[in-house]
Structure 1
Amino acid sequence: MDVLPGAEPFAHDGSATGVLVCHGFTGSPQSMLPIARRCADAGYTVRLPRLPGHGTTWQDLNTTAWTDWWSEVDAAYDELRRRCDRIVAVGLSMGGTLATLAAQSHPHGIHGLVLINPAYTMSDLRLRALPLLQHVVPSIAAIAGDIKKPGVRELAYDRTPLKALQSQRQLWAQVTRDLPQVTQPLLLLHSPQDHVVPPECSTLLLARVSSTDKTEILLTDSYHVATLDNDAELIEDETMQFIQRVTGRSS
């Protein structure tokens, strides 16, 4: 399956500090590329994988499951672990869910967690029908492209594949159940005006994690895909300061 131009994964070999970067559901590495490049420019070793079924077609995504996406993230973590002695995980939306799973799965290998509008649950009552609907309707209208800044486009699908969405719900359930296992320093950046992920996700995260080092920053001038929105520079600056603080290294 051909990868869409601009949706390619990103990797950079630098210092012994690693940054694992995760993009969101139906999106592509393009949404997280500015952060990945900023980290690379600072001298860090960076891995931004393209999740299976993403950056190609929505039909392709519908043939994958959350375990496939996690396997790709975990493989990227293994690459970093072989090269680095400190790793920080960074994720947007479902990428935040996967970054959280990385922190849960590798409590001594992930040294910090940066989450941007992470997803853990959805309050939409229509999702109750999803277990049956996924077998009848292959896709619904897109959830991608929620950006306030004019003229900016997210490289993401124009349809939401329902089998993949149902699998993502299973990922949410597991990660939410195990949120108390998260003990790492946490930087949460979230948008009060988010048309994809409800505010309950951030509330749930802060209430259930066991981290004692927690920083919350509101992205007041951005919607869901905040990494491409008006607060992108703020996100990058805060991420860089966080990585330096929790690893004790500027590169």
Structure 2
Amino acid sequence: MALHPLIPGAEPFFYPGNRTGVLLVHGFTGTPFEMREMGQNLAARGLTVLGIRLAGHASTPADMRSVRWGDWLANVEDGLNYLKNASDEVFLAGLSLGAILSLVAAARWDGLYPIRGVISLSCVVNLPSDWRVSFIRPLSLLQPYQQQAPGDFRNADAAANHICYPRYPTRSLAELRDLMAVMRAELERVRVPVFLAQSRLDAIAGPRSLPYLAEHLKNAPQTHLWLERSGHVINREPEREQLFDAAYTFIRAHSALTG
């Protein structure tokens, strides 16, 4: 498989700090860039922060075509292994697809890795209701690529410099759909504390996502944050400082080292 160079500015990042690590996971068709400001904020508070790149992202849409959801989950596990050597405890923090992966990782690997909690940002639990969703794979043979839908940014600066693919392989949407189903089936296995954050104006996750997660994370202590003036990428939106403060408070509350 021929891979292409990374988009400038979309590289993974690592900020060394204390023995509490935070693994940041970006969203579908996005890049580590969308997590960088949050990473810098948490690093400035002394935490060790790693922002990973998911397979097929941050280069060219063609690189996504052969990627499966298990590859994305393997990227998260690689990040956990890296942080296991750089810290004594780890918090998973993901946006959208990254939140889905973080919850699946917590369900499967709590105990194998020192996972202390999950920070779920704008987690999407279902694709929009559309008959074509059930036939994505065969339809992808007829329509190999989908155009990226317009974003719902409330921060003009973030909208202007956001790095994501203008289109993506239709086949990748099937991987996202299947991964969502895996997450929904495994939510009851999550036992570490979970911080759920979403905006009421989120046009992608929709208003039912956070309540669904809250109901089905039956064995996980929960903290909820509803934002009122943000779009989907809440960590780059007008209320991001409130979000960063709340996320750090959650980490402090559930850390065995800094709490």
> Residue type matched to 2:122 in 1?
N
Equivalence map 1:93-242=2 (5 Å): 93-108=96-111, 109-125=114-130, 126-143=132-149, 145-153=151-159, 154-242=162-250
Report the TM-score, using the length of structure 1 for normalisation: 0.94
Deviations 1:177-222 (A, max 9, x none): 0100011111111011112222332222111113452111111100
What is the rounded CA distance, in whole Å, between the counterparts of 2:5 and 2:192 in structure 1? 37
Aligned-residue CA RMSD (Å):
1.6
How big is the shift at 1:130?
Answer: 1.3
What is the rounded CA distance, in whole Å, between the counterparts of 1:39 and 1:250 in structure 2? 13
Change (3 A) 1:144 1:17: farther
**Preserved contact between residue 120 and residue 172 of structure 1 (Cα < 8 Å):** yes
How big is the shift at 1:249?
Answer: 4.3
**Preserved contact between residue 42 and residue 250 of structure 1 (Cα < 8 Å):** no
Q: Percent identity?
A: 29
What is the rounded CA distance, in whole Å, between the counterparts of 1:91 and 1:143 in structure 2? 21
Count of matched residue pairs: 251
**Secondary structure of 1:67's partner?**
helix
Equivalence map 1:20-59=2 (5 Å): 20-59=23-62
Give yes or no for the alignment of 1:245 onto 2:248: no
Misfit runs of 4+, over 3 Å:
248-251
Structure 1 gaps, min length 5:
none
Equivalence map 1:72-91=2 (5 Å): 72-91=75-94
How big is the shift at 1:144?
Answer: 6.0
Change (3 A) 1:124 1:193: same
